DNA sequence: GCGACAG
DNA sequence: ATCTTGTCGC
């Protein structure tokens, strides 16, 4: 766990935005051409209004079979504000990660650099770990897609207002709305896309994040019952 | 000032 | 994200 950028998570929106602008310059982007063995999907649910349940699902990259899982229950201290998602879900996620063994790659439910200030949850959390992180979002927050990919496996670029490549809209099922892939930290948009494509299963949401979501919902219910 | 707006 | 059953469509 890289403690170099640790900071408080409870702060006012203006302070949080200020911190994001300062942290975005710490992000790095490099190709990832090797073959990851273990990857993990991360998702968060809310069993109670102010309690976040973060789940880490570890799976084999080549078979997409689940190997193990870890979770954490944490009280939330900030409301959900578009662009500041990491401040709400970050604490629970980092705690769950501290209980989980190291893997080669992390997939998040949300964006990486396809964000107003270039530092979505996948990028922000990515500063605390030493492995590459990828954002897999279900809807667009920032930027524009060049065209809508409608055939499974196809993709189109997500561009910033200034024309910078932020990531890709990836069609994971023919004629179904795409998911939005963007690099978090320590990886390029191209590599993030290539690796994400390999985690596509039979559904719209790629397996790592999909399995994490299923488990986060299941654990939430087991908690009440 | 008017929209847009991850989970 | 969360509160919730059935139902339309590929």
- The bases of strand C with some atom under 7 A from any protein CB are 1-2, 10
Say which CATH class A3-143+185-224 falls into. Answer: alpha beta
CA distances from A55 to A68, A100, A141, A193, A221 (A): 11, 10, 23, 23, 14
Nucleotide nearest to A49 (CA to C1'): C2
DSSP state at residue A5: G
- Mean of per-residue pLDDT scores for chain A: 97
Extents of the domains making up chain A:
3-143+185-224
Give the integer Cα–Cα distance in Å for A49 and A68. 27
pLDDT tens sequence across A129-162: 999 999 999 999 999 999 999 999 999 999 999 9
pLDDT tens sequence across A18-47: 999 999 999 999 999 999 999 999 999 999
pLDDT tens sequence across A166-222: 999 999 999 999 999 999 999 999 999 999 999 999 999 999 999 999 999 999 999
CA angle (A220, A110, A26) in 5-degree steps:
125
The set of residues with CB closer than 7 Å to nucleic strand B is A 43-44, 80, 82-86, 109-111, 115, 120-122, 135, 137-141
Nucleotide nearest to A80 (CA to C1'): B7
Any strand C atom closer than 7 Å to A154 CB? no
pLDDT tens sequence across A96-125: 999 999 999 999 999 999 999 999 999 999
**Protein-to-nucleotide distance from the CA of A142 to the C1' of B4, whole angstroms:** 9
């Amino acid at each position: 766990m890289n403690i170099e950028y640790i900071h408080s998570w409870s702060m006012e929106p203006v302070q949080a935005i200020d911190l994001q602008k300062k942290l975005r310059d710490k992000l790095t982007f490099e190709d990832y051409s090797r073959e990851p063995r273990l990857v993990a999907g991360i998702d968060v649910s809310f069993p109670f209004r102010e309690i976040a349940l973060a789940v880490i699902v570890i799976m084999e990259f080549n078979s997409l079979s689940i190997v193990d899982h870890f979770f954490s229950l944490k009280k939330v201290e900030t409301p959900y504000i578009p662009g500041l998602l990491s401040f709400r879900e970050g604490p629970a996620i980092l705690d769950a990660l501290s209980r989980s063994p190291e893997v080669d790659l992390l997939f998040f439910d949300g964006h990486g650099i396809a964000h107003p200030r270039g530092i979505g949850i996948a990028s922000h959390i990515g500063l605390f770990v030493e492995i590459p992180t990828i954002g897999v979002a279900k809807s667009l927050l920032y930027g524009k897609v060049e065209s809508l990919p409608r055939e499974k496996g196809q993709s189109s670029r997500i561009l910033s207002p200034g024309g910078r490549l932020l990531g890709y809209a990836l069609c994971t099922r023919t004629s179904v709305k795409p998911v939005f892939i963007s690099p978090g930290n320590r990886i390029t948009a191209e590599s993030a896309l290539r690796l994400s494509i390999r985690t596509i299963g039979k559904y719209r949401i790629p397996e790592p994040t999909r399995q994490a979501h299923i488990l986060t919902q299941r654990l939430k219910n087991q908690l009440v019952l």
